[in-house]
């Protein structure tokens, strides 16, 4: 293999790896503010309404109310002993909730409300 070909191959591979790493990156919200584990092992199980309220408190302060967002809707489902709460932003348009162009988030909690994961939605345009 010639030195020129080897150099071109290295540059091509470096460029390909840079392009591959520039795509969307999953980031989790962590730490006691966004994903606390402050409920004891013997803590009572929370109701679905309590789980949704707990999940809302683990979102960024302006997630459900800012200049572009009127509020958030949340849906919770219990599976395998853990709650997955899907929270999505909305604005009001024509008296209805409009979700297009807004963000969403997933909060996964155990039955007592301890955080297992707090996963922000994919940023708008990240897949384009």
- In sequence order, the β-bridge partners of residue 104 are 88
Q: What is the mean pLDDT of residues 14-30?
A: 57
Are 113 and 46 in contact by the 8 Å Cβ rule? The answer is yes
Q: Where are the alpha helices (DSSP H) in the chain?
A: 3-20, 48-57
Task: Encode pLDDT of 29-82 as tens digits.
Answer: 999 999 999 999 889 999 999 999 999 999 999 999 999 999 999 999 999 999
State pTM to two decimals.
Answer: 0.74
Task: Encode pLDDT of 79-121 as tens digits.
Answer: 999 999 999 999 999 999 999 889 999 999 999 999 999 999 8
Q: 27 in helix, strand or coil?
A: coil
């Amino acid at each position: 293999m010639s030195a020129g070909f080897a150099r071109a191959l290295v540059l091509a591979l470096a460029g390909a790896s840079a392009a591959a790493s520039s795509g969307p990156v999953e980031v989790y919200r962590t730490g006691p503010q966004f994903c606390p584990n402050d409920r004891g092992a013997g803590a009572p199980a929370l109701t679905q309404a309590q789980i949704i309220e707990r999940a809302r408190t683990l979102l960024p302060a302006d997630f459900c109310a800012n200049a572009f967002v009127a509020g958030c809707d949340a849906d919770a489902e219990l599976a395998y002993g853990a709650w997955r709460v899907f929270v999505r932003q909305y604005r009001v348009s024509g008296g209805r909730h409009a979700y297009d162009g807004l963000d969403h988030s997933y909060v996964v909690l155990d039955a007592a409300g301890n955080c297992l994961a707090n996963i922000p939605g994919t940023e708008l345009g990240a897949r384009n």
